[in-house]
Structure 1
Amino acid sequence: MLEDKKITVYSDEKRRFDPPQSFVDKAYVKSHDERMKIWKESVENPDEFWLKAAKELCYWKKEPTKGFEWEDIENIRFSWFKDGVTNMAYNCLDKQVEAGRGDQIALIWQGEPLEESKTYTYSELLSEVNKAANVLKNLGVKKGDNITMYLPMIPELAIIMLACVRIGAVHSIVFGGFSAESVKDRILDCEGKVLVTADGYYRAGKTIPQKKGADIALVDTPMVEKVLVVKRVGIDVPWTEGRDVWYHEEYAKVDDKCEPEWIDAEDPLFILYTSGSTGKPKGVLHTTGGYMVYTTHTFKHIFDYHPGDVYWCTADIGWITGHSYIVYGPLSAGATTLMFEGTPASEVENMERFWLEVQRWKVNQFYTAPTAIRAIMRFGDEPVLKYDMSSLNLLGTVGEPINPEAWMWYHEIVGKEKCPIVDTYWQTETGGVILTPLPGANATIPGSTTFPYFGIDPIIVAEDGVPVGANEGGYLCMKKPWPGLMRTVYGDHKRWVDT
């Protein structure tokens, strides 16, 4: 390989931070040796490892007996748990109620306005999802239909996405801040027959109209039969009779009983479009069984979640982080998950809103982006120190590398040097985290994701595909698929193969 094409190793970080013994004592994985023993088993015997996890963590109407199978290796078609039958919403809701968690808080929603919040127990959330599912069915939605969702961070976003998967519909969620053109591109690509949107939303104290943008997106989209509108801010909106319906009006017409559609493990769960840095946006398609098992497993072990904890991921559900680690992973694991409409600057000075909410809701695990940490750092330590954040026992980062300076501030000022930091690496395509510390098992290193997760078998190669040596830079590749890996680019499998 040519000298000028070498990839440089940029970090030579020597600092190591062991987890507190009190954390290790309760952790699911308690040492590096234990972690690596489990990892070795998971890559040498992946079928045995993941079939065991699938049966222990998830409910199956028909338990799978098959693990990984190549369907067509040349065209990169594979399956996990192919003969299993399940339903993601059932795992997130019914399973929890049946396990005695019906009265436990499932979802905390905190609005941007300081005084606005709601909580839903597992029983209440199940009731809400069933009603939303019946609303969709009354609009003609059936198993296999694609539904586009263009909503702000309000409870109905989580409720209606769960309603989609309850009846076997496939949701395509578009980040609420995207342009009308971006929404239109995604509707056209996935041929969504229903669009779910809102009248508007709050951002930085302002009321932002959303239905207006949705209507612009709907020009020349004949496949859209109905537009379901959630009333969030109470503003006047453009209206097309016969197409547009209010969610609250349809909600009032239905009951809260809706049996789940039982779904084959390899049936589609959702489509989520990447930003399209290499051309037009790619519709990443995730399937039901593998994604369900992988997000449940990673959530439980990476965040070391225990009953009674309150977990908060600050991402937007419009991104994969919100899909996997606000909604599906936490709820399938029986957690209490917090969903926040605002930003660190919402209705406060000095970007201290996160810390106010940690204090208010007594958050135990906190997961955010390095960009947010760096922005908040600029206001100094005092806006953090004024709040009681003694409930925190774990911190996480996601979305981009974190520089060691930001990592140390997060560790010392936010975590009070007692919270392990899980610096996680993953992508829309991977479904869940693939490189990360395990908080009770590993010394953490500023700026490092440390080791592969269970079932992940990485290799670093040069541009010519030859593995590189120790401490040499290269391209991160994986030797074999894992359950959470995407299956295809929606409607364009050749693009998946070429990529």
Structure 2
Amino acid sequence: MQKATGQTAIGQTATGQTATGQAGAGASAYDATYAAWRRDPEGFWASAAAAIDWAEAPRRIFDPGAGPYGRWFPDARLNTCHNAVDRHVAAGRGGQAAILWDSPMTGRVETLTYAALQGRVARLAGALRERGVGAGDRVVLYMPMVPEAAIGMLACARIGAVHSVVFGGFAAAELAARIADARPKVILAASCGLEPGRVVAYKPLLDAAIALSPHKPDRVLVLQRAQAEAALLAGRDEDWLAAEAAAAPADCVPVAATDPLYILYTSGTTGKPKGVVRDNGGHAVALRHSMAMLYGVGPGEVMFTASDVGWVVGHSYIVYAPLLTGATTVLFEGKPVGTPDAGTFWRVCAQHGVKAMFTAPTAMRAIKRDDPEGRLLAAHDLSRLEALFLAGERCDPPTAEWCAGLLGKPVIDHWWQTETGWPISGNFRGLGLFPARFGSGGKASPGYEVAALDEAGQPLPRGQGGTLAIRLPLPPGCLPTLWQADDRFRESYLAAFPGWYNTSDAGVVDEDGYISVMSRTDDIINVAGHRLSTGSMEEVLAGHPDIAECAVIGIRDSLKGQVPLGLVVLKSGVARAEAEICRELVALVRERIGPVAAFRDARVVSRLPKTRSGKILRATLRRIADGEAYTVPPTIDDATILGEMEERLRAG
């Protein structure tokens, strides 16, 4: 495969200075790189494309007339699996670890080298091909955090098939909706997943989902796990490992850069899931580029992303970005606490020589709650860990400060979405870190122009809050559209502010370009005509020494329209009276934000309801507090907590 030709080498600015050096009088490497992108966007991305192997290198970088807002690398061809696996073996690095599977749930740690990964992926791709799967066909994966999840994704990419990963354990009705929309020829599944203290049988859920769906797959390949083997349906179901072992290996099939690599479903406001499409070319270029620029991780180095392949973080920074780079990725089957304790992340980092770790703020709050003094860290050597990255939700400053104080390493909060696929903003280890500001998601990544817009879609002056939006076109790696729904894409993301992509996040871009995301736009509350951010109040509550984590929601009030209600989880060992703590919290908000916030009520709860990716279910909490009917969200981690929430929220 060939390299794309570009105007400047990867990791260099237009002036030729290295990415970690200075460029221009007094200008930082970040400023120079961002300016170089602004000056020549196509040249910038042509340069980044030089790090990818192409079957047909791009001659045209961007076509503004294609798709809802344009398409990247419209005349190029490549294979993503070749770029993630085969080229590293061909370069003589087949013996390097590609995937380190660390499973406290099973007590196993296994290494899969690039050569071993290539062999397994090629055989599974062959098995799919023998079952009629070809370029453009869809394959749904319903998997726990085992190596086969990544192998299945890469096998699809190898033959040009489109994969759609559904979080293992998703409810049957939600899985059925995704099967109906994607119309897969084959489903790849495991017999079960493992949670602390329980085994989750996947196969009965999958069988129920297929029964509900109007579309039926031709075949289901099942990875049988020792913890719960599944009964196979004759004529449809097959043993995954047997099918893989019997297949002839398949070669990589080049596809158009604009062809879809995967569909990842995210919740839609209509109740119908939205299928976010990721293309092959822009995805490979953006993720490969982001690894050095943002995370400072290169070939042979180890990245630990504590997420799940069911979410975009798992797609981007467990599987594709590290492997496109030739790095080693840790695939972790466990929890931040309870498998076995709040020191498990530190054990993983020390044992595997992790250079960069990436997780959600909620995971760090759980660790802080169980081990507030960080005593469990002392047993582990983290000398090779260089930075901790946080994303998935806004990280409150007290949590970021606790992490930084505990680790003595840079703690980088960065902001992105399922739709963008890689960070909109952050701090840039490959460009020389600028000073962090806890509470902010950093500055815009080169490729993104971000502004806070007013209700008329006009950019607000720096420092004023509004709806955060990205000027079109979106950079490579972002969704080009929704699966078979261009009009819905335009309606959902482009219609509100012509010329801009609407993130539906509320926040501010300050005078220095730091971006702070305070809440979703529907989490801005209106108290007696004052628009107030629940994120600002959460920041104050999280600063109280007894609080492990918190959420603030707006509830209906006959006088003021809405008033804020604080829900707080106490740190382990705190035994003070709830009324006393709540009085202190009310006083803190009054002191820090002012009486305009009308914050008069806080309640202690044992835990907060969250999605499996760690996001607090604020909209559900708001409906419960307002006495409205609600449905149990399909993404909820543990639905049993909702009973306690009803009792606590409706008691007042």
TM-score normalized by the length of structure 1: 0.90
Instruction: Write the distance in 2 (CA, Å) between the matches of 1:485 and 1:464.
Output: 25
Residues 105 and 196, structure 2, Cα contact 8 Å, conserved in 1: no
SS in structure 2 at match of 1:219: helix
Give the drift of 1:483: 0.7
Q: Which residue of 1 aligns with 2:379?
A: 386
Listed one character per residue, the Cα deviations across residues 455-495 of structure 1 (whole Å, up to 9, x for unaligned) are 11112211111111121101111112211120111122111
CA distance in 1, matches of 2:226, 2:488: 40
CA deviation map 1:207-262 (0-9, x unaligned): 2211111111110434311111011235242331000000011122124x321111
Picking from 46, 52, 57, the partner of 2:41 is 46
Distance 1:383 1:400 in 2: 25
Matched, 1:69 2:60: no
User: Aligned partner of 1:366: which letter?
Assistant: M
Letter in 2 for 1:408: E
Which of 460, 464, 469 is residue 477 of structure 1 equivalent to?
A: 469
Corresponding residue for residue 357 of structure 2: 366
Question: How far, CA to CA, are the matches of 1:114 and 1:217 in structure 2?
Answer: 27
Provide the secondary structure at the position in 1 that maps to 2:32: helix
Of 426, 433, 455, which residue of structure 2 is paired with 1:436?
A: 426
- Taking the TM superposition and a 5 Å limit, the aligned residue runs for 1:46-195 are 46-55=41-50, 57-72=51-66, 76-113=68-105, 115-195=107-187
CA contact (8 A) 1:86 1:289 kept: yes
Q: If each structure's strand is expressed as a fraction of its own residues, which one has the higher value?
A: 2
What residue number does 1:425 align with? 415
1:406 pairs with 2:399: yes
What percent identity do the matched residue pairs reach?
Answer: 35
Superimposed CA distance per residue, residues 157-196 of structure 1 (whole angstroms, 9 cap, x where no aligned partner): 0001000010000001001131111111100011112111
Change in Cα spacing, 1:45 to 1:309, as seen in structure 2 (3 Å) is: same
**1:488 aligned counterpart, secondary structure:** coil
Deviation at 1:100, TM superposition (A): 2.3
Match of 2:294 among 264, 287, 302: 302
Does the Cα contact within 8 Å between 2:257 and 2:279 map onto a contact in 1? yes
Structure 1 portions without partners, runs of 5+? 1-26
Q: Which amino acid aligns with 1:101?
A: R
User: In 2, distance between residues paired with 1:456 and 1:266?
Assistant: 20
Paired position in structure 2 for 1:357: 348
1:21 match: none
SS in 2 for 1:322: helix
Match of 1:213 among 198, 205, 210: 205
- Distance change (3 Å), C-alpha of 1:109 and 1:230: same
Structure 1 residues 280 and 191, CA gap change in structure 2 (3 angstroms)? same
Supply the distance in 2 between the matched residues of 1:488 and 1:307 (Cα, whole angstroms).
31
Contact 1:110 1:339 in 2 (8 A): yes
Q: Could you say which residue in structure 2 is the equivalent of 1:17?
A: none
| Partner SS for 1:173 | strand
Pick aligned residue for 2:239 from 238, 246, 254: 246
2:173 partner SS: helix
Deviation at 1:97, TM superposition (A): 1.4
Which blocks of at least 5 consecutive residues in structure 2 are unaligned? 1-17, 493-652
Whether contact under 8 Å (1:147, 1:194) holds in the other structure is: yes
Q: Deviations over 1:272-295 (max 9, x none)?
A: 001234532100011110011001
2-side partners of 1:363 and 1:374: how far apart?
21
Q: Secondary structure at the match of 1:168?
A: coil
Runs of 4+ residues over 4 Å off in structure 1:
none
Deviations 1:109-168 (A, max 9, x none): 111336312111111111111011011112211111011110101000000100001000
Taking structure 2 as the reference length, what is the TM-score of the superposition? Answer: 0.69
What one-letter code is carried by the residue in structure 2 that aligns with 1:430? T
SS in structure 1 of the partner of residue 59 of structure 2: coil
Between the aligned partners of 1:182 and 1:462, the Cα distance in structure 2 is 35
Q: Relative CO higher for 1 or 2, CA cutoff 8 Å, sep ≥ 6?
A: 1
Q: Summarize deviations over 1:337-384 as a string: whole Å, max 9, x none.
A: 1010111134313x2211221222121111000001111101222122
Report if the CA contact (8 A) 1:205-1:347 is conserved: no
Name the CA distance, whole Å, in 2 between partners of 1:475 and 1:240. Answer: 50
1:347–1:470 CA distance, 2 compared to 1 (3 A) = closer
Contact 2:257 2:280 in 1 (8 A): yes
Pair member with larger Rg: 2
Offset at residue 92 of structure 1 (A): 0.3
